[in-house]
Protein backbone atom coordinates (compact mmCIF):
# COMPACT_ATOMS: atom_id res chain seq x y z
CA UNK A 1 0.00 0.00 0.00
CA UNK A 2 1.53 3.30 -1.07
CA UNK A 3 0.64 6.95 -0.39
CA UNK A 4 -1.82 7.07 -3.29
CA UNK A 5 -3.64 4.00 -1.92
CA UNK A 6 -3.80 5.70 1.49
CA UNK A 7 -5.29 8.83 -0.08
CA UNK A 8 -7.84 6.74 -1.99
CA UNK A 9 -8.85 4.93 1.20
CA UNK A 10 -9.15 8.24 3.09
CA UNK A 11 -11.35 9.68 0.35
CA UNK A 12 -13.57 6.60 0.33
CA UNK A 13 -13.83 6.67 4.11
CA UNK A 14 -15.06 10.25 4.01
CA UNK A 15 -17.60 9.40 1.27
CA UNK A 16 -17.87 5.85 -0.07
CA UNK A 17 -20.17 7.05 -2.86
CA UNK A 18 -17.43 9.21 -4.38
CA UNK A 19 -16.84 8.48 -8.07
CA UNK A 20 -13.56 7.05 -9.38
CA UNK A 21 -13.22 10.19 -11.51
CA UNK A 22 -13.54 12.45 -8.46
CA UNK A 23 -11.01 10.38 -6.54
CA UNK A 24 -8.69 10.47 -9.53
CA UNK A 25 -8.84 14.28 -9.57
CA UNK A 26 -7.64 14.32 -5.96
CA UNK A 27 -4.86 11.77 -6.39
CA UNK A 28 -3.70 12.53 -9.94
CA UNK A 29 -4.90 9.33 -11.62
CA UNK A 30 -7.47 8.46 -14.27
CA UNK A 31 -10.78 6.91 -13.23
CA UNK A 32 -9.79 3.47 -14.63
CA UNK A 33 -6.50 3.59 -12.70
CA UNK A 34 -8.39 4.42 -9.49
CA UNK A 35 -10.81 1.55 -10.17
CA UNK A 36 -7.92 -0.90 -10.59
CA UNK A 37 -6.42 0.26 -7.29
CA UNK A 38 -9.76 0.04 -5.47
CA UNK A 39 -10.30 -3.48 -6.88
CA UNK A 40 -6.83 -4.47 -5.64
CA UNK A 41 -7.49 -2.92 -2.20
CA UNK A 42 -10.70 -4.98 -2.02
CA UNK A 43 -8.95 -8.17 -3.17
CA UNK A 44 -6.18 -7.60 -0.60
CA UNK A 45 -8.75 -7.18 2.19
CA UNK A 46 -7.86 -3.55 2.91
CA UNK A 47 -11.38 -2.45 1.95
CA UNK A 48 -13.74 -4.91 3.60
CA UNK A 49 -17.11 -3.36 2.74
CA UNK A 50 -19.04 -0.20 2.08
CA UNK A 51 -21.71 1.03 4.45
CA UNK A 52 -23.95 3.95 5.28
CA UNK A 53 -22.94 5.46 8.63
CA UNK A 54 -26.12 6.20 10.56
CA UNK A 55 -26.53 8.58 13.50
CA UNK A 56 -28.16 6.37 16.17
CA UNK A 57 -29.82 9.39 17.81
CA UNK A 58 -31.50 10.31 14.51
CA UNK A 59 -32.97 6.80 14.53
CA UNK A 60 -34.32 7.24 18.08
CA UNK A 61 -31.48 5.53 19.97
CA UNK A 62 -30.44 8.36 22.30
CA UNK A 63 -28.81 6.36 25.09
CA UNK A 64 -25.33 4.88 24.79
CA UNK A 65 -23.53 2.76 27.38
CA UNK A 66 -20.25 0.91 27.74
CA UNK A 67 -20.86 -2.42 29.45
CA UNK A 68 -18.30 -4.75 30.99
CA UNK A 69 -19.64 -8.29 30.60
CA UNK A 70 -18.57 -10.97 33.09
CA UNK A 71 -19.18 -14.60 32.11
CA UNK A 72 -19.13 -17.86 34.03
CA UNK A 73 -16.12 -20.11 33.78
CA UNK A 74 -14.05 -19.98 30.63
CA UNK A 75 -16.40 -19.01 27.84
CA UNK A 76 -14.53 -18.72 24.58
CA UNK A 77 -14.82 -15.61 22.42
CA UNK A 78 -17.07 -17.56 20.07
CA UNK A 79 -19.36 -18.58 22.93
CA UNK A 80 -19.55 -14.99 24.17
CA UNK A 81 -20.38 -13.83 20.64
CA UNK A 82 -23.11 -16.45 20.30
CA UNK A 83 -24.57 -15.35 23.65
CA UNK A 84 -24.72 -11.61 22.92
CA UNK A 85 -25.14 -11.37 19.15
CA UNK A 86 -28.96 -11.85 19.27
CA UNK A 87 -29.33 -8.65 21.34
CA UNK A 88 -29.98 -5.83 18.82
CA UNK A 89 -28.93 -3.17 21.31
CA UNK A 90 -25.32 -4.43 21.28
CA UNK A 91 -23.62 -2.25 18.68
CA UNK A 92 -20.14 -3.72 19.14
CA UNK A 93 -18.44 -6.30 21.34
CA UNK A 94 -14.77 -6.87 22.14
CA UNK A 95 -13.00 -9.57 24.11
CA UNK A 96 -10.51 -7.99 26.50
CA UNK A 97 -7.65 -8.84 28.81
CA UNK A 98 -8.50 -8.34 32.48
CA UNK A 99 -11.41 -9.29 34.70
CA UNK A 100 -14.24 -8.74 32.23
CA UNK A 101 -14.92 -11.30 29.53
CA UNK A 102 -15.92 -8.63 27.03
CA UNK A 103 -16.66 -4.94 26.64
CA UNK A 104 -19.89 -4.03 24.85
CA UNK A 105 -21.11 -0.82 23.26
CA UNK A 106 -24.85 -0.77 23.83
CA UNK A 107 -27.40 1.63 22.30
CA UNK A 108 -30.97 2.11 23.47
CA UNK A 109 -33.84 4.51 22.96
CA UNK A 110 -33.79 5.67 26.58
CA UNK A 111 -32.73 4.53 30.06
CA UNK A 112 -35.77 2.26 30.43
CA UNK A 113 -34.89 0.50 27.17
CA UNK A 114 -31.25 0.26 28.34
CA UNK A 115 -32.36 -1.30 31.62
CA UNK A 116 -34.49 -3.86 29.76
CA UNK A 117 -31.60 -4.69 27.42
CA UNK A 118 -29.23 -5.14 30.37
CA UNK A 119 -31.73 -7.43 32.11
CA UNK A 120 -31.97 -9.56 28.95
CA UNK A 121 -28.17 -9.66 28.69
CA UNK A 122 -27.88 -10.78 32.34
CA UNK A 123 -30.53 -13.47 31.72
CA UNK A 124 -28.40 -14.93 28.91
CA UNK A 125 -26.98 -18.36 29.85
CA UNK A 126 -23.32 -18.04 30.82
CA UNK A 127 -23.49 -14.33 31.70
CA UNK A 128 -22.74 -13.78 35.38
CA UNK A 129 -23.06 -10.00 35.67
CA UNK A 130 -22.56 -6.67 33.95
CA UNK A 131 -21.01 -3.35 34.94
CA UNK A 132 -22.46 -0.42 33.03
CA UNK A 133 -21.26 3.11 32.41
CA UNK A 134 -23.73 5.38 30.64
CA UNK A 135 -22.17 7.74 28.11
CA UNK A 136 -23.19 11.34 28.78
CA UNK A 137 -21.76 12.82 25.58
CA UNK A 138 -19.52 11.83 22.72
CA UNK A 139 -16.49 14.10 22.55
CA UNK A 140 -15.36 12.66 19.21
CA UNK A 141 -15.16 9.47 17.21
CA UNK A 142 -12.66 9.00 14.47
CA UNK A 143 -11.37 6.30 12.22
CA UNK A 144 -7.87 4.94 12.59
CA UNK A 145 -5.33 7.23 10.96
CA UNK A 146 -3.64 5.69 7.96
Count: domains in the chain = 2
Q: What is the CATH number of the domain that holds 23?
A: 1.10.10
> What domain range is 16 assigned to?
3-43
- Both 69 and 122 in one domain: the answer is yes
Q: Is residue 144 one of the residues assigned to a domain?
A: no
Per-residue model confidence (pLDDT) at position 145: 64
pLDDT of residue 47 exceeding 80: yes
DSSP letters along 52-118, please? ----GGGGT--EEEEEEEEESTT--HHHHHHHHTT-TTEEEEEE-SSS-SEEEEEEESSHHHHHHHH
- Both 67 and 125 in one domain: the answer is yes
pLDDT band for position 90 (50/70/90)?
very high
Q: Is residue 48 one of the residues assigned to a domain?
A: no
Q: What is the pTM of this model?
A: 0.77
Mean pLDDT rounded to a whole number for the chain? 94
Q: Is residue 131 one of the residues assigned to a domain?
A: yes
Q: Is residue 140 one of the residues assigned to a domain?
A: no
Amino acid sequence: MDDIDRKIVALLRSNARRSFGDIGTHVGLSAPAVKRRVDRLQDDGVIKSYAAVIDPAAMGWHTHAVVALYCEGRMSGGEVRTAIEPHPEVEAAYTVAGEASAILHVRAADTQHLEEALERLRDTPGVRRTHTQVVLSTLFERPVAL
